Chains A and B, each alone.
Chain A
Amino acid sequence: LAKTTQPISMDSYEGQEVNITCSHNNIATNDYITWYQQFPSQGPRFIIQGYKTKVTNEVASLFIPADRKSSTLSLPRVSLSDTAVYYCLVASYKGSSASKIIFGSGTRLSIRP
C-alpha cells in the first residue's frame, strides 16, 4: 500500500514556477502517479499522470526519478487562480487495486499577487 507524503502548505507569487514534491517510498511496479487539484467546495480535478521520467501537458509537468520513490509536480508561471489543494495519488486502479486509492491530506498552495 503506497502511502504518500506531501508538504502541508506552500506559498508563492504570481508568475513564479511552483514545484510540489510527493514522497512515495513503497510504490509498486504497477502503480501510476496521479495529481489532482481541488478548489473549495468543488470535487478534485485531474491534472496529470505518469509512470516514469517526465510527462508534460498544457497545465503542468510531472517529473519522476528512476527509482520512482518520489515525484514533483511543476506548475509554470502560476496565477492567483492556481490557489488550491493539490493531491498526489499512487495506485494501479485495476480491479481490486481500486480499493487502495488514498488521497492523503494534500498540499495547500497559496498564490499571492
Chain B
Amino acid sequence: NAGVTQTPKFRVLKTGQSMTLLCAQDMNHEYMYWYRQDPGMGLRLIHYSVGEGTTAKGEVPDGYNVSRLKKQNFLLGLESAAPSQTSVYFCASSPVAGKTDTQYFGPGTRLTVL
C-alpha cells in the first residue's frame, strides 16, 4: 500500500514549456486535490475532484488544468509555464464519507520555471 505517490519529484522548465504532474493513490479514495506551496507559505488549493470524471476549481486555478479519467489518478497540467508557477506541488486524496474528511498527502513535486 503506497498511499499517495507523485511523479516526478523534481522538474525544471523554461518559460512557455508544458508539463503534466501525475498523482496516484491506491486507497480507493473518492476525492483528490492539487495544492501549491510557495516558500514560507501555507498550501493553496488549485483544483480538486470529487470523483472519477469530475473536476472543480479551487482558490488559485488560473494557468492550470486537471483531469481525473481514472479514480486512482489525478493529473495536473501546465500548458505554458511561467516563473510565477515555481513552487512545490502537493497532491492529496481523501475517502470522504459522511461529514468529515482526512486528507492524505503525497511527497510533493518541486517545480522550477526559469
Contact = CB atoms under 8 A, between A and B. Distances in A.
B56 A98 contact: yes
B50 interface: yes
A45 B43 CA distance: 13
A41 B42 CA distance: 13
A46 interface: yes
A43 interface: yes
B2 interface: no
Interface in A92-112: 92-96, 98-99, 101-106
Interface string A27-55: 00010101010000111111001000000
What interface size band does chain B fall in? 20 to 34
Contacts of B56: 96, 98-99
A63 interface: no
What interface size band does chain A fall in? 20 to 34
A103 B44 contact: yes
Given A42-B108, A95-B50, A98-B31, A104 B92 contact: no
Contact of A49 (B33, B44, B90, B102): B102
B57 interface: yes
A24 B41 CA distance: 19
Interface of B: 4, 31, 33, 35, 40-45, 48, 50, 56-59, 90, 92, 94, 96, 99-108
Given A98-B50, A101-B33, 5 more contacts: A36-B103, A42-B108, A49-B102, A93-B100, A94-B99
22 contacts: A32-B101, A34-B101, A36-B103, A43-B90, A43-B92, A43-B106, A44-B103, A46-B102, A87-B42, A87-B43, A91-B101, A92-B99, A93-B96, A95-B50, A98-B48, A98-B56, A99-B48, A99-B58, A102-B44, A102-B45, A103-B35, A103-B43
